[in-house]
Amino acid sequence: MIALWTSQEIVTATGGTLQGAPFEVSGVTFDSREVESGWLFVAMPGTVADGHAFASRAFAAGATAALVSRPVDGPHILVGDVAEALGALAVAARNRMSGTVIGVTGSVGKTSTKEALFAALDRYARGRVHRSVKSYNNHTGVPLSLARMARDCDYAVLEMGMNHAGEIAALTRLVRPHVALITTIASAHIEHLGSMEAIADAKAEIFEGLEPDGVAIIPEDTPYRDRLVKAARKHADRIVTFGGGEADVTAVHAVRADNGGSLVTARLVECEMTYTIAQRGEHWVSNSLAVLAAVEAAGADLAIAGLALADMDGLKGRGERRRVPIEGGSFLLVDESYNANPASMAATLKALGDESGISRRIAVLGPMRELGEHSDAAHAGLAEAVRAAKIDRLILLGPEMDLLEAALGGDVTVDRAADVDEATRLLAAIARPGDAVLIKASNSIGLAKLVERMAGGLATCFT
C-alpha cells in the first residue's frame, strides 16, 4: 500500500521538524476519537479544548505520529502553528493530485449532493474517488479533507460551507476545483449575511478557485440565477444550469417510482437518459440533475451514475429511513435531524405528505437557527407546508415554534416539548403502528439523540 504521507513529505510541506524516527502514515485526523492504527494525529488548538491534551489518547489508539506546536511523548513533527501546518499539508495534497476535483456548496442539499456524487463516481472508478467525510466543510474541515486525499485518486468531491462572506473564497482557493457546483440559494445563515443577495454572492465565491477550463454548475430555479451566472463568467470557461424551464440539464419527465422515489427522463448537455432515484421527494429530482450535470462535466459515465442514484440509501440525519419496532408492528422514522432552514423544512414536509400506505403523519420539529430578523416570519411560514402535507400530529420544541403553532390556529393537534427527552417521551406515547414520523430541526437542537434512542424500538429507548 502506498503511504498517504511520509514524515519527510510532511516536514517539506509544513516546514516542521521531525522528532523521532522517520515514519509513514495511512490517515489523518484532528479528533482523537477517530484515530486508527497508522494515522497522523493533528493536535489542533480549540476554543474549548487543546488537541495537545489528547495526544496520549491518540497514541494509545494507534496513532503513528502527531503534528504539534509543542513537544509530546511520542513521534511528532513540531511546527510553529498547527492550523497553518494543516493548511500547508492541504496545499501539498492538492498539488500532487492530478485527477478531477469537484467542489460543492449551497444553502440546502450540499452534503447529500456530495454523497450522491461520490456514489456515482466511485461506482465508475471504484476505490479511486475521495470525498469530504461527514460535513467537514469549514476552515478546518476542508484542509483536513484535502490532507486525507490519496495521491493517486482519479476524482475528489469536496464540500464547502460558510457562515460569513469571504469564507468560501478562502476554501475554494485551497480546493481549486475543475467543476464548481451550487445546489441552491436559500435563507440559511441570513442572520450573518443580511440578505438573500449576499447569500448568493457568498456562495458564488466558489467560482473564484476554478482551475483553467473550469465548469460552473448553477441552479436555474432561483431568483438569483442571473447573479450567479454573472459571477461565474469571471472565472469559468463554461456554465451549465440545471433545474426547470430553459436549464441545460432538466427533467423532461418525472413521476413517482414504485420504490417511493422518482423515475426521471432528463435532458443533459450531450444526451438524454432515463433513470430511477431511490431517495424520496421532489427535491431529490433537482439534486439528481445537479449530480448528473457534474458527472457529465467531469467526463465520467452517466449510465453508471444513474445506477448509483437508483441504489443510494438515505443518509444519517439527512433522510435516512428506519422501521421502529412497536407493540403490534412498527412505524417509519424519517431522520432529517442534521439541519433545517425554511427551504429544507418545506421539502421534507412535502415528502412526508407524499408518503403512501401509512396511517398517520407525525412531525417532530425544532427551531431553525441563524435566521436573524427573518426568524419569526420563517417559523410562522411553515404553517402552509404543514397544512399541505396533511400532518396529523406535531411535536414542537423551542419558543420559536410558538409562531408556527399560532399560525396553524388549531388546524393540527400540537404537543409541546421542553427538550429532546420530553419529545422522546411524547413520541413514544403518541406513535402507533403504521405511522410515518419526520424528525427535523437545526443540528444544535440535538434531535439526533431522539433518533438514536428510537433505534432499538420504543420498548428499549428509555433503558
Alpha carbon distances (Å) from 398 to 36, 405, 437? 39, 11, 19
Is 381 annotated to bind ligand? no
In a domain, 429, yes or no: yes
| 113 and 41 together in one domain | no
| 143 and 292 together in one domain | yes
User: What spatial distance separates the first Cα and last Cα of the chain, rounded to whole Å?
Assistant: 44
In a domain, 160, yes or no: yes
| 270 and 135 together in one domain | yes
Amino acid at 166: G
- Give the pLDDT mean for 163-184: 95
In a domain, 47, yes or no: yes
| 157 and 132 together in one domain | yes
Detail the DSSP E strand segments found in 160-303.
Answer: 179-182, 215-219, 238-243, 249-256, 262-267, 272-277
pLDDT of 338 > 90? The answer is no
In angstroms, rounded to a whole number, what is the distance separating the alpha carbons of residues 346 and 389? 9
Domain boundary among 311, 328, 347: 311
pTM as predicted: 0.80
Phi, psi angle pair for 31, to nearest 5°: -115, 115
Domain boundary among 291, 311, 331: 311
Is 264 annotated to bind ligand? no
Render 353-403 in DSSP notation, one character per residue.
HT--S-S-EEEEE-PPPS-GGGHHHHHHTHHHHHHHTT-SEEEEESGGGHH
Is 132 annotated to bind ligand? no
| 304 and 325 together in one domain | no
**Do strands 17-19 and 76-78 pair parallel, antiparallel, or not at all (unpaired)?**
antiparallel
Q: Which three cell numbers stand for residue 386?
A: 404543514
| 157 and 257 together in one domain | yes
pLDDT bracket for residue 460 (50, 70, 90): low
In a domain, 258, yes or no: yes
| 286 and 430 together in one domain | no
In a domain, 87, yes or no: no
pLDDT value of residue 391: 96
In a domain, 349, yes or no: yes
pLDDT bracket for residue 386 (50, 70, 90): very high
Q: How many domains does the chain have?
A: 3
What CATH number is associated with residue 433? 3.90.190.20
In a domain, 426, yes or no: yes
DSSP 8-state assignment for residue 135: T
What CATH number is associated with residue 78? 3.40.1390.10
In a domain, 188, yes or no: yes
pLDDT bracket for residue 457 (50, 70, 90): low
The mean pLDDT value of the chain amounts to 92
pLDDT of 187 > 80? The answer is no
What CATH number is associated with residue 232? 3.40.1190.10
| 401 and 383 together in one domain | yes
| 197 and 268 together in one domain | yes
pLDDT bracket for residue 189 (50, 70, 90): low
- For residue 271, the SS3 value is coil
> Which of these ranges, 137-141, 175-179, 257-261, has the smallest mean pLDDT?
257-261
Half-sphere exposure of 65 (CA within 13 A, CB side): 23
In angstroms, rounded to a whole number, what is the distance separating the alpha carbons of residues 188 and 442? 10
- Give the pLDDT mean for 260-287: 92
Which of residues 361 and 108 earns the better pLDDT score? 361
In angstroms, rounded to a whole number, what is the distance separating the alpha carbons of residues 164 and 191? 9
**Do strands 361-365 and 329-336 pair parallel, antiparallel, or not at all (unpaired)?**
unpaired
- Give the pLDDT mean for 18-43: 96
| 76 and 106 together in one domain | no
| 172 and 212 together in one domain | yes
pLDDT tens readout for residues 415-450? 999 999 999 999 999 999 999 999 999 888 999 999
pLDDT of 40 > 80? The answer is yes
Of 158, 189, 164, whose CA–CA distance to 340 is shortest? 189
Is 348 annotated to bind ligand? no
Is 316 annotated to bind ligand? no
Is 112 annotated to bind ligand? yes
Domain boundary among 29, 47, 82: 82
In angstroms, rounded to a whole number, what is the distance separating the alpha carbons of residues 145 and 265? 34
Is 109 annotated to bind ligand? yes
Which range of residues forms the domain containing residue 57?
5-82
- Give the pLDDT mean for 118-144: 93
pLDDT value of residue 1: 65
- Give the pLDDT mean for 165-175: 96
Alpha carbon distances (Å) from 278 to 246, 318, 381, 447? 26, 14, 29, 25
| 286 and 372 together in one domain | no
Please say whether the beta carbons of 357 and 443 come within 8 A. Answer: no
